[in-house]
């Protein structure tokens, strides 16, 4: 019978390599100033959204403004609260780009829906 006492890379079957025992903790922490600043920006944008609904700028303009504010708020949450700022730039660009694309498609769909009512 074959001897199965070693793994494919030659280490004894019962041993652990050095990487298995490493614990990856939090690599960074966001300062309270950054978190409060982000929260403040989200609150200001929320107030802006509420105020924009009370002013009649036209259906299309109100919708565009609401979508713009929603995209900015979603981007702030992802970049700061989900710590994408501290991750690779590529991940941030992909996520924010996806949010912008989704907002663009939803916005144009909603703008076009008036013709069918």
Read off the pTM.
0.60
* pLDDT, position 39: 94
Which of 36, 39, 27 lies closest to 88 in space, CA to CA?
27
Residue 6 lies in a domain: no
Number of domains within the chain:
1
* pLDDT, position 37: 94
**Domain limits at 55?**
32-116
Mind listing the pLDDT tens digit for each residue in 58-106? 877 887 888 889 889 988 888 888 887 778 888 878 887 887 888 788 8
Residue 86 lies in a domain: yes
Residue 38 lies in a domain: yes
Residue 39 lies in a domain: yes
Residue 25 lies in a domain: no
Residue 94 lies in a domain: yes
Mind listing the pLDDT tens digit for each residue in 17-58? 555 545 555 566 778 898 899 999 999 999 998 888 888 888
Interhelix angle 59-76/89-112, nearest 10 degrees: 160
Q: How many helices (H) and strands (E) does the chain have?
A: 3, 0
Residue 5 lies in a domain: no
């Amino acid at each position: 019978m074959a001897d199965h006492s070693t793994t494919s890379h030659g280490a004894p079957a019962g041993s652990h390599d050095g990487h298995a025992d490493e614990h990856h903790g939090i690599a960074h922490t966001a300062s309270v100033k950054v978190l409060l600043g982000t929260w403040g920006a989200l609150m200001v944008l929320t107030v802006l959204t509420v105020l924009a609904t009370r002013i009649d700028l036209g259906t299309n303009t109100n919708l565009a403004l609401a979508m713009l504010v929603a995209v900015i708020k979603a981007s702030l949450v992802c970049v700061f609260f989900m710590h994408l700022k501290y991750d690779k730039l590529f991940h941030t660009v992909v996520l924010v780009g996806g949010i912008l694309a989704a907002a663009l498609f939803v916005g144009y769909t909603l703008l076009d829906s008036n013709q069918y009512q």
